[in-house]
Amino acid sequence: MSAEPTTIRSLDDPTIMVETPATIYDAIPPYPARTEREAEFYALRDGEMLINLGPQHPSTHGVLRVVLRIDGERVVDLDPVLGYLHRGVEKICENGDWHHAISNCDPLEYIASMFSEAMPVLAAEKLLDLEVPRRADYIRVLCWELNRIASHALFVGWLALDLGGLTPILYGFAERDEIVEMLAALTGQRLLFNYLRIGGVNGDLNHDFMSRLGEWMSRALVRIEEQQKLLNQNEIFIRRTKGLGVVSADIARRTLLSGPVLRATGVPFDVRRAHPYSVYPELEFDIPVRSEGDSYARYLLHYDEIKQSIGIIDQVLAKMPDGPIMAKIPRLLRIPPGRAYVAIESPRGQYSCYGVSDGSDQPFRLRIHDPSFFNLQAVGMMMPGNLVADTMAIMASLDPIMGGVDK
Amino acid sequence: MTVADVAALMTTLHDDPDLRFLILSDLAGVDTGTTMQVVYHLWSDTTPDWLRVIAEGLPREDPRIPSVTFLWNGAEWAEREAYDMFGIIFEGNRDLRRIYMPPDYQSFPLRKDFLLADDAARSPGQGVRHMEQTFMPAESGAQPALRQGTGAGTTDALPMTTDALAASTPDTADASQRAPT
């Protein structure tokens, strides 16, 4: 922090230059720049200023802090600051056994925790070379797709909420609530299900779940079509999403984006197709793709995916085989030494896990790759040049879940 | 091949028309207890082929490896995470600073010599270990009361235990007030 005076533009009259103590600018950050990029970011040019969003800003979907460097209303550059929700899940997983890892991974992607809790399960199964009973696989796919719809329904609501539209989130939550109640009837939990097990699932389909599912399925498609009308033709919504946050296919690939953010750029990449897992090869579904790469394309893609998921649920219910729901595994589970890499398609993209076992009952290393973490990185490319008010709209269209970003 | 060749190897895998491993699926740091590794998982963009590249044998004292951000700029945060958690230095990453932990943090949490306070399961016979025993003040010169009486072999598996902990004491003043009993 230096006490030398600096010349800045007057706030009252931008044509006048006034002398000011340099402390207000030097105070951010309160430590010397650690990298070239950080020094570059905090070296403000004439007329620029820093503005801090978060970490408690309601629109950052959790505790994300973003330092924006702005020139007037335009964002010049930004620096996301992560870690406010860091719990060290990977370390905790290393210190518990493989079964504990399931519930430890649950709160990573807390909007769709059926996906994050699958990570240690699938990794352990691959290391054990364990074949899961077909019924358990079908139940898993059923839960995954239901959870995907619940997550996507909320995404649309959130996006509209960040643009000032209050109605869609009520519809989104109504849809989500029916699904989580349904899953609560199956798993006992509304949010963090802790339902998948190494070798199968915990508990068979029950009457309560099936009746709720049947009732919801009978009108799901109609309701989704109805909700689409709320925003698809809404002029304010279109103006604030179309052409904003554009990312090209090549840049999306190099930035390691995945999920709807990648598919909105025209790349038909879906882990369910590219690297099939579970019983997805037996099911028929399309990979919806849009080519614009902007916020509006991402929004439309979410509805397309909801429709595909409903189709998958239909097939799963028709094909649901009988049989056991758990493979026979020993009670004290020692995973053979080895390395395994598993990946699934979560609502936000490629969710993958690199598990290393040293032959004990605890994971030696459990690396979780969270799509929100990688997708959030794209804000650095999407934001510059946009208005401050649009930063939230762009961020919401990436749909990051800070539980997974911060791990 | 040595670790320094990672950049050339990745460029070949990425650019060669017969290989085309265009997708960096994951970048993970691993601490084996004796050395550090960086594990890359690559996916082909057209076929279901996948490839695991393990850069192993990085010394624990000064693990250095070339960055792959020139191919995938999205690897920047993944490398920052590996740096934050393991202390692996990715040469060429222009923004290599801590991503999760605070800027003044000194330790690398996912290293095997960073023990959790109640890490009872991995130190049989020790029971629950308390925070004061895990983090000893650097000036006191005392050896951390880790893994004593746990039988032969445990200290061999973790050669850096005492050094790294003494060097990485986060809060010396505070810890010395809570001296172990």
* Average pLDDT estimate for B26-48: 89
Confidence of residue A340 (pLDDT cuts 50, 70, 90): very high
pLDDT at A139 over 90: yes
In a domain? residue B38 = yes
* B70 & B135 share domain: no
* B77 & B153 share domain: no
pLDDT at A28 over 70: no
- In the prediction, which pLDDT does A210 show? 92
In a domain? residue B164 = yes
* B78 & B128 share domain: no
- In the prediction, which pLDDT does A4 show? 55
Tokens 């809404």, residue?
A: A234
Please give the DSSP secondary-structure letter assigned to residue A56: S
B3 interfaces chain A, CB cutoff of 8 Å: no
Q: Do B116 and A95 touch (CB under 8 A)?
A: yes
- CA separation for the pair A93, A81 (Å, rounded): 25
Say if CB A386 and CB A76 are below 8 A apart: no
In a domain? residue B179 = yes
Q: Which pair of tokens denotes residue B23?
A: 């997708």
Contacts of B2 by beta carbon, 8 Å cutoff, 6+ apart = none
Write the residue in B26, B100, B121 that is nearest to A82 by C-beta: B100
pLDDT at A309 over 90: yes
In a domain? residue B101 = no
What is the amino acid identity at position B86?
F
* B25 & B78 share domain: yes
Contacts of A405 by beta carbon, 8 Å cutoff, 6+ apart = A62, A64, A82, A85, A370, A372, A373, A376
- In the prediction, which pLDDT does B167 show? 38
The tens digit of pLDDT for each residue in B144-170 reads 434 333 333 333 333 333 333 333 333
Share of chain A above pLDDT 90, in %: 34
Q: Which of these three, B91, B121, B155, is where a domain ends?
A: B91
Confidence of residue A234 (pLDDT cuts 50, 70, 90): confident
Measured at the alpha carbon of residue B49, what is the angle toward residues A356 and A277, in degrees to the nearest 5?
Answer: 65
Q: Which of these three, B40, B59, B91, is where a domain ends?
A: B91
- In the prediction, which pLDDT does B181 show? 35
Q: Do B95 and A38 touch (CB under 8 A)?
A: yes
Rg (CA), chain A: 23
Q: Which pair of tokens denotes residue A126?
A: 């691959």
pLDDT at A99 over 60: yes
DSSP string, chain B: --GGGHHHHHHHHHH-TTT---EEEEEEEEE-SSSEEEEEEEE-SSSS-EEEEEEEEE-SSS-EEE--TTT-TTHHHHHHHHHHHH--EEET-TT-S-SSS-TT----TTSTT---TT--TTSTTT-SPPHHHHS--TTT-PPP--STTS-TTHHHH-TTHHHHHHHT-S-HHHHHHT---
Domain count, chain B: 2
How many Å lie between the alpha carbon of A261 and the closest alpha carbon of chain B? 14
In a domain? residue B97 = no
CATH 1.10.645.10 fits A90-406, yes or no: yes
Q: Do B25 and A343 touch (CB under 8 A)?
A: yes
pLDDT at A27 over 50: no
* B118 & B76 share domain: no
| Closest CA relative to residue A66, chosen from A320, A315, A400, A297 | A400
Q: Do B78 and A406 touch (CB under 8 A)?
A: no
Contacts of A189 by beta carbon, 8 Å cutoff, 6+ apart = A183, A195
| Integer CA distances (angstroms), B4 to A202, A254, B61, in order | 47, 22, 17
How many Å lie between the alpha carbon of B180 and the closest alpha carbon of chain A? 23
Share of chain A above pLDDT 70, in %: 92
How many Å lie between the alpha carbon of B7 and the closest alpha carbon of chain A? 15
Say if CB A259 and CB A301 are below 8 A apart: no
Tokens 């798993």, residue?
A: A187
In a domain? residue B102 = no
**Predicted TM-score (pTM) of this structure:** 0.80
B49 interfaces chain A, CB cutoff of 8 Å: no
pLDDT at A337 over 70: yes
pLDDT at B133 over 60: no
Name the segment(s) of chain A with CATH classification 1.10.645.10. Answer: 90-406
Which of the residues B21, B25, B122 would you substitute to probe the A interface, choosing the one with the greatest number of A C-beta atoms within 10 Å?
B25
Write the residue in B28, B81, B121 that is nearest to A95 by C-beta: B121
The tens digit of pLDDT for each residue in B64-109 reads 999 999 989 889 999 999 999 998 999 888 888 888 988 878 888 8
Structural domain span for residue B174: 113-181
The tens digit of pLDDT for each residue in B122-132 reads 554 444 444 44
- In the prediction, which pLDDT does A5 show? 57
- In the prediction, which pLDDT does A321 show? 92
The tens digit of pLDDT for each residue in A45-92 reads 778 888 888 777 766 677 888 888 888 888 888 888 888 889 889 988
Confidence of residue B118 (pLDDT cuts 50, 70, 90): low
* B172 & B141 share domain: yes
Confidence of residue A20 (pLDDT cuts 50, 70, 90): low
pLDDT at B173 over 70: no
- CA separation for the pair A383, A397 (Å, rounded): 12
Pairing of strands B64-66, B89-91: parallel
Confidence of residue B4 (pLDDT cuts 50, 70, 90): confident
